[in-house]
Amino acid sequence: MLSIFDRNATLSRRAMLTVGGLGLGGLALENLLAAKAFGSTTGKPITTSKSVIFLMQHGGPTQFETFDPKMDVPDGVRTIGGVTKTSVPGLTFGSSLEKTAKLAEHLAVVRSYSTGSGAHSIRPIVSEASRDANIGSIYSRLAGANHPESGMPTNVTLFPNSVEPDDLDGEKRFGKFDATGELGRSYAPFAPGGESTLQENMQLVLPAGRFDNRRGLLSSLDKLRREIDRDGSMEGVEKYRGQAFDMVVRGVAQAFDLSQEDSKTIERYDTQAYINDRAYRDKTNGRQGRQWYQSNARTLGRLLLLARRLCEAGCGFVTVSTAFVWDMHADGNNLEITRGKEAVINPFDHAISAFIEDCQQRGVADDILLVSTGEMGRTPKINARGGRDHWGRLAPLLLTGGGITHGQTIGQSTRDGGEPDIDAVNTDNLIATMMHTLFNVGELRVAQGLPSDLVRFASSGTPIPSLF
């Protein structure tokens, strides 16, 4: 809860103690600045100061039309639309990924990744071995719920309405993105504009009342800042409380505000041009399906831009959930592959390429690891409607940034693209890769005062080979 002071009260000690909520992990901010980051017995930090953005391609992306095209196979399996050459000799992507293909030297593509499940879930970022908690929540529990300098929450989940308040609220019915298992609600991700367990309590006890979306939060924090500057309410508040409050109303709010970004950068990320009414005009797609596709095209680029901003401000783990558009069954709400390429893969290509170029130009590429995959892949066999169905044995996986070795393809799938053939990779390997990006594993193992089972989980896995 963000309770600063109530309607008719002046700023009080008790009220200031509640500022630490903000859905930021429950750490009292007056302790935030006075405390140092967790360290091991050597005094060295347990974190690397790097961040992970996990882009959830919600619905289950097709490996065939993205990063593992198959052309020398029979009709009914063959990649629809052909391939495009990449900047890496001999490597091809699906034809809709022309922009990303030109940046392939900055990518690591895994062609032997299996989630092990063909169900809609968030399995790639919630493991049974992790107490059924989101990986971001585990990171938050080990690294601290807030960045020790900026006050930024270390675990954030972005849905389409995080950048467009009136948009869809993420397809959480297919997976609880705020799952914390046994860790407790304090480590649930902050979800601006969403309705996470923390978000439903996010309020300013001010004349402005309750705020249900990001726009209201930003404007209200700005109003509060002006009021406090005008009437001097902060006078007499001890040093750390004053600095912490200043963080909340000035620093954290600005990180969530895309209007602070250069207009050319915002334009570069803009995917709204890919709203393709023609692709889902006829009766094969219901109203809900059309909303999903429109939402995805409107918001995907801005979500990645916001995620980059949050990482630069100190957030360690950002989950980006796209609208539920990758489920290309060609049924009542979902497109078949041909039109799905236009409506889904084209905006994805634009957003991913904009993110890679932006991070390279800003000099933060090695500081932010982008991971992009879904809860499953798609069937080798194209169904009678021109779609591909759920398939848990193989899924596309893309990684870029974070200091990993780029310009490579890891593993190989079978000829029909249905299973790993060489160097199989699973979700435990993916989670270990993210943990090794986020933590100085050796220091984490000897850190004091942290749950031993979580330390073991975060430090003992085997990352995807050849990335580090």
Cα 28 to Cα 3, 14, 79, 413, distances in angstroms: 12, 11, 53, 49
In angstroms, the CA 168 to CA 162 distance is 9
Neighbouring C-beta atoms of residue 254, cutoff 10 Å:
15
Sort 60 into a burial class: Cβ within 10 Å, 0-12 / 13-18 / 19+: buried
Contact 322, 379 (CB under 8 A): no
Contact 309, 319 (CB under 8 A): no
DSSP-derived letter for residue 398 is E
Residue (of 379, 389, 368, 370) closest to 430 by Cα position:
370
Residue (of 406, 385, 401) closest to 335 by Cα position:
385
Going by C-beta distance under 8 Å and a sequence separation of 6 or more, which residues neighbour residue 460? none
Alpha helices in 4-157 (DSSP H): 13-17, 29-32, 98-101, 135-143
Gap between the terminal Cα atoms of the chain: 40
Task: Give start-end residues of each CATH 3.40.720 domain in the chain.
Answer: 37-192+263-459
* Tokens at 448, concatenated: 């004091």
Neighbouring C-beta atoms of residue 257, cutoff 10 Å:
18
Of 3.10.620, 3.30.70, 1.10.3470, 3.40.720, which CATH number belongs to 37-192+263-459?
Answer: 3.40.720
* Tokens at 156, concatenated: 């954030």
In angstroms, the CA 14 to CA 19 distance is 9
Radius of gyration over alpha carbons of the chain, in Å?
22
In angstroms, the CA 143 to CA 458 distance is 11
- Kindly give the confidence (pLDDT) of every residue in the chain, 468 residues in length, as a single tens digit, with 9 standing for 90 and above: 343 333 344 444 333 333 333 433 333 444 444 444 445 566 689 999 999 999 999 999 999 999 999 999 999 999 999 999 999 999 999 999 999 999 999 999 999 999 999 998 887 887 665 668 889 999 999 998 878 777 788 999 998 888 887 766 555 556 778 888 888 877 888 888 744 333 333 333 333 333 344 455 555 555 655 665 565 555 544 444 455 555 555 567 788 889 889 999 999 999 999 998 877 776 455 677 888 899 999 999 999 999 999 999 999 999 999 888 999 999 878 999 999 999 999 999 999 999 999 999 999 999 999 999 999 999 999 999 999 999 999 999 999 999 999 999 999 999 999 999 999 999 999 999 999 999 999 999 999 889 999 999 999 999 999 999
Tell me what percent of the chain is helix, strand and coil, each rounded to the nearest 5.
40, 15, 45
DSSP-derived letter for residue 286 is -
Alpha helices in 189-329 (DSSP H): 214-231, 239-246, 253-255, 263-269, 287-312
In angstroms, the CA 377 to CA 396 distance is 7
User: In this structure, are strands 107-114 and 425-426 parallel, antiparallel, or unpaired?
Assistant: parallel
Secondary element (H or E) of residue 459: helix 452-459
Q: Would you state the pLDDT for residue 316?
A: 97
Contact 137, 188 (CB under 8 A): yes
In angstroms, the CA 118 to CA 418 distance is 12
Contact 301, 322 (CB under 8 A): no
CA atoms within 13 A on the CB side of 84: 19
In angstroms, the CA 89 to CA 409 distance is 11
In angstroms, the CA 28 to CA 215 distance is 24
| Furthest CA-CA distance within the chain | 76
* Tokens at 444, concatenated: 């984490």
Outline where DSSP puts E strands in 357-465. 368-373, 377-378, 390-391, 395-401, 408-410, 412-413, 420-422, 425-426
CA dihedral of 70, 73, 75, 78, whole degrees rounded to 10: 0
Packing angle, helices 346-362 and 287-312, rounded to 10: 10
Q: Would you state the pLDDT for residue 24?
A: 38
* Tokens at 323, concatenated: 């609208």
Residue (of 17, 35, 47, 22) closest to 138 by Cα position:
47
CA dihedral of 269, 123, 371, 172, whole degrees rounded to 10: 20
